[in-house]
Structure 1
Amino acid sequence: MKYLHHFLVLFLFPIFSIAQDSTKVVTKRIYTTKPLNNNEAPNIDGIIDDSSWDIAEWTGDFIESQPDENTPPDQQTKFKILYDQKYLYVAYRCYDKEPSKIEKRLSRRDGFAGDRITIILDTYHDKRTAFSFTITAAGVKGDEFVSQNGDNWDESWNPIWYAASKIDAEGWTAEVKIPLSQLKFGNDKEQIWGFQVTRLIFRKDERSGWQRIPADAPGFVSEFGELHGLIDIEPQKQLEIQPFAVTQLDTYPEEEGNPFRDGQDFKLNGGLDAKIGVTNDLTLDLTVNPDFGQVEADPAAIALDGFQIFFREQRPFFVENKNIFDYRFANGFDNVFYSRRIGRNPQGSFTELDGEFVDSPTNTTMLGAAKFSGKTKNGWSIGVLESVTEREIAKIEDENGNRREAVVEPLTNYFVGRIQKDFNERNTYIGGIFTSTNRSLGDPFEIDEENPNTDQTSELVGTRENNLNILRKSAYTGGLDFRHNWKNRKYFIEGNIVTSHVEGSKEAIEETQNELTHLFQRVDADHVSVDPNRTSLTGTGGKLVGGRSGGGNWRYNAGVFWRSPELELNDVGFLRQADEIRQFVNARYLFLKPTKLYRRANIFVEQFSTYDFEGNYNRIQYEFNGFINYKNNWWTELGFGHKPRIFTNTFLRGGPRWRFSDENFVFLFFGSDQRKKFNFTIGHVNASAQQNNFSFQRYVLRLNYQPFDAFSMSVNPEFERNPNKTQYVTETDFNGTPRYITARIDQQTLSASIRLNYNINPNLTIQYYGQPFISRGRYTDFNYVNNPIAKDLAERVTLYDQNQISFANEEYSVDENRDGTVDYTFDDPDFAFVQFRSNLVLRWEYIPGSEIFLVWSQGITGDGVPSDHLFRSLNNQILDQQPDNTFLIKATYRFVL
C-alpha cells in the first residue's frame, strides 16, 4: 500500500508544482449596436430584406472552437444587431456552400437538433451568468439560463421571444426578436453586456464563435466579448399572468366492494401562475393551486440498501431559476434545498384493519407558493421562496360502511432564502442560505366534530386520527459559502458550511436518531447513542476545496468535506448519510489539439478516503478513467478502480461496523457518431470483490433513430445483475443477543426507457415516454454475522446448515443451537417488483408562452413471482394486466401586460 501512496505523490506533485500557464491573452472584441429610432421594426420572418437592417453593420470573422480551436471555420458567419425601447433584434447570415446538406431537423423546444446559431448575453456583466437564445435552421427555438461561468445550462427557463429562419442559395438566414422584459439589466445610461455568438455546422460537428475562447480557458462567460451602444434603454418591469384550467379523467380496474375504487374518477381544476417584475432585476413568481399533470413520470428504481433515492425536479415553478437556490455541499450530491420535499408523498402512518378499504393521497397538495428571485447589476443574487402545503387526510371505510379518517400529512410551511454577493471584479463571491420547515402537527388525536363522543379506542367510527407524532415539528438550516478565483480565474478556492437544527417530540427526535441517515443506535459506536429524552438535534457539514480550473492542459483539485452525526436536512433538503469525513484529490489532463486519430480526449485520476467522527478509517478508493472522441466522431470511455478498504457503518442497519471484501471495478462505453440518423451506445460495468463476496454487472444499450426530420425515437434497455453472498436480510434476537442475518442474493433488474417524438412544426409536438421495469431478488444460503470486520469472508459470517434452518408457509425457522426448538423466525425476503409507466403528450404552443396539453398517462405497479423468469413477469404483470389510465387536458394563456 505504501508504494501506491508513493506513486500518487510522485504523479500528482508535478501537476501542482510545474504545470505551466499556456493561455495567451485574447483580445476582447466589441460590437456596437444601433437604435432603430423612428425606423420601422423589421418583420421577423427569417428573410433579411427589411430596410431597417441597413442601419446596423455586419460583423463576422468567426473562429473555430471545435474540433480545431483557433483555426478558420469551414463556413463563415455574420450578424448584426438593432434595438429599440422594447426589443433587441438580431439578424444572422450563415453561409454554406452546400445548402442541400444543411440539417434542418425538427424537435421540441430546447431540442437543439441540426444546424443552429446562438446568441448569449451576459446582461449583468458579472462574467458568471447569461441568457442564451438559439434558433435552428428548421426554425426550432431553444433557450437556457447559463450559470456557474458556463458549467450549468438550465433549459427550464422559457422566456417569450420570436424567431424565424430560412434556407436559401447561400446557406441560411435567421431573424430574432428578444423582448427586453425577458432580460435583466441595470439602469446605466449605456449598457455594456458580455456577449457571444456561436454557430454549429451539424454535419461536420464544427463549432465556431465570434469571440475566440481558447480551449484551455478557465471559464466560458468570463471570456465573452462585449456589446456596446445600448443607450438610454429603460429597464422593463415584467408582468405576466398565466391562468390555467385542467380536466382529468382517471380510469382503473374496479374493485368489488371498495367504495374508493369504482372504476373511474373525474376532476376539474384551475389555478394561476404569475410573474411580476418588482424591479428590472428581481422577479416575483406566484402560483396558486398549481397543477403538474403533464410532468413526465419518474423513472422506476429500487434500493436494497434502504437509502432514499434522488429524483430530479421536473415541475416548472421550481426548475426555473433553480440555480439561484442551489446550495450543494459535501460531495455535491447533498443539497440544503431539495424542492421535491414540497408536495412529497404523505409521511403519516395509520393501522389498517382487516376488511378495510383505504383512499390515501399519493402526493401532498401545494396550496400556493411565491418565489422572489433575481440578480442585481451590482452583484447581489437574491432568492426567497415561500410555500404552503395542505393537510392531507386518508379516508378509511370497512365492509359495513363505517368510516374513519387519518391525517397523513400536516399543514406545512416551507421557506428558503438565498443570497450571494460578487466582489473583486466578479472574481470572488460570498453567499448564505437559510431554510425553515414548520409543521402544524396538532394534537395526537382529534375528534370529528360531528361525533364528539366517539370512543377512539374501539371501532373509531366517524373519527379522525392524527398519527404524526414521528414527524419533526420544525427544522432550520443556515449556511455560508464562498469562492475566490485568481490569476485570470485559472486557480480557485471555495468552501461552504451548513448548520442544521431540528425540533420535535421525544418520539420524533428518537425516530430521527434511529433513521438510516444517522443510526445512533449502532452497538459498537462510542461517539453517538440514542437519547429518548431529546427534543432537538444540531449538526454541521461543509467542504473546503481548491485547485486549478483553467490554463494549460491540467485541471486538478483537492479538498475535504464533512457531515457531522447530528446533521439533518431531509425536511426541505437532501442528505443521504451523516457522520462522515472525506479527503479527496483528483487531476485531469486535456488533450486540446486534435490529431489524425482524435478530435478531443482526456484522462482522469482520483483518490479519496473516508472516516467517521469516531475516527474509524472506513474507505479508500483509487480510480482512473479516460475519454476519447475519434476523428470520425465515434467515442470511447474507459475506466477502472480499486477499493482496498471498504467499511460501512450502515450495512447492518444499527448493528456493528461491517467490512466488505476488497473490490475492483471496470467500465467501458463506446458509441457511434451521434449526428447520424441512427446512432448507438453500448456499455458495460463490472465490479467484483475478493472471495466472490459480491459482484455487479450492468449492460447498457442505447439506440437512437431519426428516419426523417420530424420524427425521432430512442430505446434504451438496461440489464443489471448483482449477486451478493452477504445481502442484509433482517435483525432478530437469539437468547438476548442481537443476531444479524444475511444471505446470498441473486438480484436481476431489467428496464427499458422508450421515447418517440413527432414534430408537426416547431410549436406542435407529440411525445411518448414509456418504461417497463422489473427487479427480482432470490435469497439462498442464509447466514448470520459472526465477526463483521474480519478480512476473511468465512470468519465474517457463518452459514446455517440444513439442520438449523427450514422453510414453510413463507417463513424461515432457525434452530441455531440444534436443540430441537426454534430459536427465531423471519419472513421470506424473496421479491419481484414490476412497474410500467408511460406518458403520451401533445403540446401545442398556439401563441408564444401559451400552451395546450393533451395527456394520456398509464401505469401499472405490482408484485411478480420471484421464481418466474424476468420476461414472464413482464408478460404476467404488465402485458396481461389492466392499467391505471389518466386522460388530461390542460390549457394555459399567458397575458403579458
Structure 2
Amino acid sequence: MISSPPSLLARALFAALLSGSAFAAHAQSITVDGKLDEPEWAQARVFKDFKVTQPYSLATPDPALATEARMISTPQGIAVGFTVAHPANVPRVKPRLERDQGRPSDRVNFMIDFDADGRTAYNFTVGLSGSIQDVVVTNENYFNSDWDTDWSWAVTETETGWYVEMLIPWSVAPMRGSDTPTRTVAVYFDRVMGGNGERYATPAASYERPRFVSDFEKVEIPQYRKALFHVWPYVTVLHDLIDGSTDYKVGADLFWKPSPTFQLSATINPDFGQVEADELVVNFDAVETFYTDKRPFFTENQGFFDLRTPDNGQLIYTRRIGANADDGSGAADIDAAVKLNGSVGELGYGLLAAAEHDDAGRDFYAARLLYPVTPKLSLGWLGTDTERPFRDRTAQVQAFDLRWRPSDTLTVNAQILASFIDQAGLSKDGTGGWFRINYAPSQSWTYEAEATHFDRRLDFNDLGFLRRASLNELELTANYTRRATSDTSRIRSSGFSVETQHRSNDTGDRLPTWLLLNGELELRSGGNIEIGHNLISAGWNDLISRGHGLWRVSGRSNSFAEFNSARHGQWQFSVYGELAPQGLENGDAKVLYLTTNWYPSDTLNAQLELGRQKASDWLIWEGGTDFGRYHKDLREMSLNLGWFPSSKHEFRVKTQWLAIGADRGERYLLQPDGRMSNGALALPAFEINSFGVQLRYRYLLGPQSDIYLVYSRGGYLEENRELRSTGDLFDEALGLRDSDQILAKIRYRF
C-alpha cells in the first residue's frame, strides 16, 4: 500500500532529525544571486575533499586554489553553492560563450544522478563569465550537450575569488521512488582552471576512466513534490530571398509534471527551423553521416531512451523524425509528438510517439522500461515501431539490456537485439547482441573486453542509427596512465592505450584486423599532445561496393598526431596531422588541420580553422562494380565569431567552405575474386564546391524563452571540369546561392 505524500511540515520535521542535520529542510527559498549569504547555507552539506583528477594524479590542490561546494535540498529544488579561491596573481580566463560552447575557461561543474544507479547523470556547468552548459551523461561517460533545461545560476567575483549559486528544479528529470520523504542521490563537484586545464574534483572520479557516474558520492537528502506546467507558444516567419515567398508557422510545446514520478512533454505543429546550422559534409563513404539533434522536444528527458550499441550505433536516432520524406520531397513536417517519462515503484518507463504530415509521412513509436533488480543489477527493455505507408513498410525493434556492477572495479553491460521488417508483404527478421566488461584494478590500469554479433538481416535504421549489420567483432583494450611525481616536470601525466579489433562479417569473411596504439601527454602548461599509429591487416571490405561484391584490401597503416596548446593571453592553437591510406595501395593521404582561437575580450571570441587533404590514391564507388581512382585535393575553412555584449544578447557568425578536386581519374572494376582491375578508361576530373553562412542574433526573454533573427545562405556545386585554384574556388563559393533566407522566431514560456 502506498501512503499519501507527507506534508511539507512533516518532511521538514523528518529532515531535521537526520544525523548531523546535514540536509535540514528549509522552507525559505534560496535567492540565486551568487552571494551565498542566506543563513540556510550554514546548514548545508559541505564538500571540501577536492583532488586533482586532470591530470589524474589524485594530489591535493594548492591551498591557495581551495574550492568548497555546498548542497542543500529545498522545496524549489537542489541548491548548490561554490566558493572558489582565485588569487589575483593567477590569471582568470572568463570568455563569455554560447550555451554549451566548450572553450577553455574557469568554471565549476555539478553533476547529479537522481536515482543513484549509475545510469544517467545531469551536468550543470557555470563559468566565471556566467556562461553555462547543461549536459546529459549516459553510459558512464558519454556526454550529450544537446539537452537544454530550465535552471538558475549566478556568479559574483571578488579580488580573492568567486562564488557560484545554482538552483536545480525538481522538474529537470524523472525520478523513481518519489513518494518517500528522502531520497538517495549520487553527486559530483569539480572546478576547472581555464589557464592550464587542471581539474579538481570530489569525489575523485574521472570521466576519462570507464567508470565515472558509478563513482559519484551517494548522499541522502529530503525530497519534495512540486507540480509544474509550462506552455511555449511560438511564431516563425520565414522569408525566401530567392523566390520571394514568405511562410508563417504557429505552434506550441507543452510540459506537465504533476509529480516527480510522471512528466509529459508534447509539441503541436513544431517548428524546427534552422536556428542551429549543421556542419557541411561531403560523404563518399558507404556509411551515412551522423548529426546531433538540438531540437528542444527531442532533447528533453531523452537520456532515458539513449540506448547505444558498439560501432557507434544508437537505437533511437531522433534526426530520423522530420528527416526527408519517403517520396523524396524534402524534409517532412511533423504534425505532433508526445513523450512520457515516469515510474511506478522502482520500475521506470518512457513512451515516445511522433506523427509526420501527408501521405509520405511516417509514424514513430518507442517504449522503454528499466528495473533495478538490486542496487548492482538492472534490466531494461526498449521497443520501437516505425510505420512508413508510402513505402508499404513497417519496422519493429526489440532490445533487452543488462547492467551489472559486481564490485567497484568491475562493470558488465550486455544487450540482445531483434528487428522485424515487413515491406510489401516480404519479411526480414534479424538478431544481434553484444557483451562488454570494464575492469579497473588500479588507478593506473583499466581494461575493456567487448564482443559483438550483428547478423546480416539486423536493421534498426528506420528509427535508429546502425553503421553496419553483418558484424562479428572482438575488441580488447588496455589503458595505462602514469602520473608525474616531480613538480618541476613539464609533463603532468602520460598514458598509452593498446586496442585490437578482430572482425568478420556474418558469412565468415574476415575483415581487416586493427591494432591501435595511442599515447598522450598532458603538459603542465595546460596543453596536450596525442599520437597514434594503427596497423591494419589485409582483409575483405564488404561495404564499399554497396552489395555488389567484396574487395580484397591490402595490409596498411596510418598515423596521426595532435597538439592542443594552453591559452596564451588572447590566443589558443591546435594542430592535427594524419597520414592515412584511402586507395588501392598503402599510399598515404596527407591531412593537416590548423585551428586558432582568439579572445580579444571577454565578450568577443573568434575561431578560424583551415584544413587540407591531399591524396595520390583516392578510391570512390561510381556504381555497381565500377570505381574511380583519383588524385584528391580537399580544402576546408571555417570561421566562427561570437559577440556577447550582455547576458541577454548574443550575436553569432558561422561560415564554412568545403571544396574537393579530383583529377587523373582511372576506371577500375571490382572482379568476382575481390581484385580491382584497371578498366583502361580515363575518367574526367571533377570538383565539388560548397559554402554556408549563418548570421544569428538571439535575445533571451527569460527562462527557455528567446527571440531569434537568423540569416542563412548556402550552395552546392558539382561539375566535371579542370581543377581550379584555391582562390578561384573560394570566389565561386561566395556566389553559390541554392538557399537564401531570413528567419524570425519568438518562443515564450508561460
Q: 1:100 to 1:765 in 2, by over 3 A?
A: farther
CA contact (8 A) 1:251 1:265 kept: yes
CA distance in 2, matches of 1:66, 1:612: 39
Q: In structure 1, which of residues 626, 630, 636 is the aligned counterpart of residue 519 of structure 2?
A: 626
Q: In structure 2, which of residues 665, 689, 706 is the aligned counterpart of residue 780 of structure 1?
A: 665
Q: Which runs of 5+ in 2 are unaligned?
A: 1-18
Q: In structure 1, which of residues 146, 151, 158 is the aligned counterpart of residue 137 of structure 2?
A: 146
CA distance in 2, matches of 1:890, 1:725: 44
RMSD of aligned residue pairs (Cα, Å): 2.9
Structure 2 residue 188 is matched with structure 1 residue 196: yes
CA contact (8 A) 2:583 2:617 kept: no
Residue identity opposite 2:412 in structure 1: I
Residue identity opposite 1:411 in structure 2: G
In structure 2, the partner of 1:713 is 606
1:267-286 CA deviation, whole Å, 9 max, x = no partner?
11111001111531332110
Q: 1:700 to 1:266 in 2, by over 3 A?
A: same
Q: 1:594 to 1:248 in 2, by over 3 A?
A: farther
In structure 2, the partner of 1:753 is 638
CA distance in 1, matches of 2:308, 2:481: 26
**TM-score for the superposition, normalised by structure 2:** 0.89
- How far apart are residue 341 of structure 1 and its match? 1.4
Q: In structure 2, which of residues 446, 451, 455 is the aligned counterpart of residue 564 of structure 1?
A: 455
Structure 2 residue 240 is matched with structure 1 residue 250: yes
CA distance in 1, matches of 2:137, 2:470: 34
In structure 2, the partner of 1:176 is 166
Q: 1:774 to 1:34 in 2, by over 3 A?
A: same
CA distance in 1, matches of 2:26, 2:77: 10
CA contact (8 A) 2:549 2:672 kept: no
In structure 1, the partner of 2:356 is 389
CA distance in 2, matches of 1:363, 1:593: 53
Residue identity opposite 2:424 in structure 1: S
CA contact (8 A) 1:99 1:171 kept: no
In structure 2, the partner of 1:104 is 94
1:567-617 CA deviation, whole Å, 9 max, x = no partner?
222221222332222222221112245541422222111222222233222
CA contact (8 A) 1:786 1:798 kept: no
Structure 2 residue 385 is matched with structure 1 residue 500: no
Q: 1:798 to 1:439 in 2, by over 3 A?
A: closer
SS in 1 for 2:364: strand
Structure 2 residue 260 is matched with structure 1 residue 280: yes
CA contact (8 A) 2:275 2:696 kept: no
Structure 2 residue 318 is matched with structure 1 residue 339: yes
Percent identical among aligned pairs is 22
CA distance in 1, matches of 2:274, 2:720: 33
- How far apart are residue 725 of structure 1 and its match? 7.0
Structure 2 residue 208 is matched with structure 1 residue 222: no
SS in 2 for 1:874: helix
- How far apart are residue 106 of structure 1 and its match? 1.4
1:229-279 CA deviation, whole Å, 9 max, x = no partner?
52xx43113321111111111112xxxxxxxxxx31101111100111153
Residue identity opposite 2:98 in structure 1: R
Structure 2 residue 495 is matched with structure 1 residue 602: yes
In structure 2, the partner of 1:310 is 290
CA contact (8 A) 2:493 2:522 kept: yes
SS in 2 for 1:264: coil
In structure 1, the partner of 2:406 is 486
Q: 1:179 to 1:346 in 2, by over 3 A?
A: closer
CA distance in 2, matches of 1:363, 1:613: 34
Aligned length: 725
Structure 2 residue 245 is matched with structure 1 residue 265: yes
Larger-gyration structure (1/2)? 1
Residue range with higher mean Cα deviation, 717-726 or 475-484: 717-726
Residue identity opposite 2:162 in structure 1: W
- How far apart are residue 726 of structure 1 and its match? 5.6
In structure 2, the partner of 1:552 is 443
In structure 2, the partner of 1:737 is none
- How far apart are residue 61 of structure 1 and its match? 4.9
In structure 1, the partner of 2:125 is 134
CA distance in 2, matches of 1:212, 1:580: 38
In structure 1, the partner of 2:32 is 44
CA distance in 2, matches of 1:664, 1:623: 10
Q: 1:690 to 1:129 in 2, by over 3 A?
A: closer
In structure 2, the partner of 1:156 is 146
- How far apart are residue 218 of structure 1 and its match? 5.9
**TM-score for the superposition, normalised by structure 1:** 0.75
Structure 2 residue 694 is matched with structure 1 residue 856: no
SS in 1 for 2:476: strand
- How far apart are residue 547 of structure 1 and its match? 3.6
- How far apart are residue 636 of structure 1 and its match? 1.3
Residue identity opposite 2:354 in structure 1: S
Q: In structure 2, which of residues 20, 23, 34 is the aligned counterpart of residue 33 of structure 1?
A: 23
- How far apart are residue 844 of structure 1 and its match? 1.7
- How far apart are residue 537 of structure 1 and its match? 1.0
Residue identity opposite 1:310 in structure 2: F
Higher strand share: 2
CA distance in 2, matches of 1:302, 1:213: 39
CA distance in 2, matches of 1:242, 1:715: 36
Q: Which runs of 5+ in 1 are unaligned?
A: 1-28, 253-262, 350-360, 392-408, 442-470, 507-534, 732-739, 791-795, 806-811, 813-827
- How far apart are residue 122 of structure 1 and its match? 2.8
Q: In structure 1, which of residues 62, 65, 72 is the aligned counterpart of residue 53 of structure 2?
A: 65
CA distance in 2, matches of 1:578, 1:54: 57
Structure 2 residue 301 is matched with structure 1 residue 321: yes
Q: 1:69 to 1:682 in 2, by over 3 A?
A: same
CA distance in 2, matches of 1:614, 1:692: 26
CA distance in 1, matches of 2:656, 2:377: 45
SS in 1 for 2:538: strand
CA distance in 2, matches of 1:568, 1:118: 39
Q: 1:142 to 1:721 in 2, by over 3 A?
A: same
Q: 1:567 to 1:191 in 2, by over 3 A?
A: closer
- How far apart are residue 369 of structure 1 and its match? 0.5
SS in 2 for 1:34: coil
CA distance in 2, matches of 1:30, 1:158: 36
In structure 2, the partner of 1:797 is 677
CA distance in 2, matches of 1:476, 1:691: 39
CA contact (8 A) 2:196 2:524 kept: no
CA distance in 2, matches of 1:603, 1:328: 26
Q: 1:722 to 1:430 in 2, by over 3 A?
A: farther
SS in 2 for 1:618: coil
In structure 2, the partner of 1:234 is 224
Structure 2 residue 740 is matched with structure 1 residue 892: no
CA contact (8 A) 1:673 1:679 kept: yes
Q: In structure 1, which of residues 372, 387, 394 is the aligned counterpart of residue 340 of structure 2?
A: 372
CA contact (8 A) 2:45 2:72 kept: no
CA distance in 2, matches of 1:30, 1:776: 70
CA distance in 2, matches of 1:709, 1:537: 57
In structure 2, the partner of 1:517 is none
Q: 1:70 to 1:657 in 2, by over 3 A?
A: same
In structure 2, the partner of 1:120 is 111
CA distance in 1, matches of 2:719, 2:731: 8
Q: 1:66 to 1:659 in 2, by over 3 A?
A: closer
- How far apart are residue 867 of structure 1 and its match? 0.9
CA contact (8 A) 1:30 1:226 kept: no
CA contact (8 A) 2:196 2:566 kept: no
CA distance in 2, matches of 1:839, 1:278: 40
Residue identity opposite 1:146 in structure 2: V
1:204-239 CA deviation, whole Å, 9 max, x = no partner?
433223444489976333333344452xx4311332
Q: In structure 2, which of residues 383, 392, 396 is the aligned counterpart of residue 434 of structure 1?
A: 383
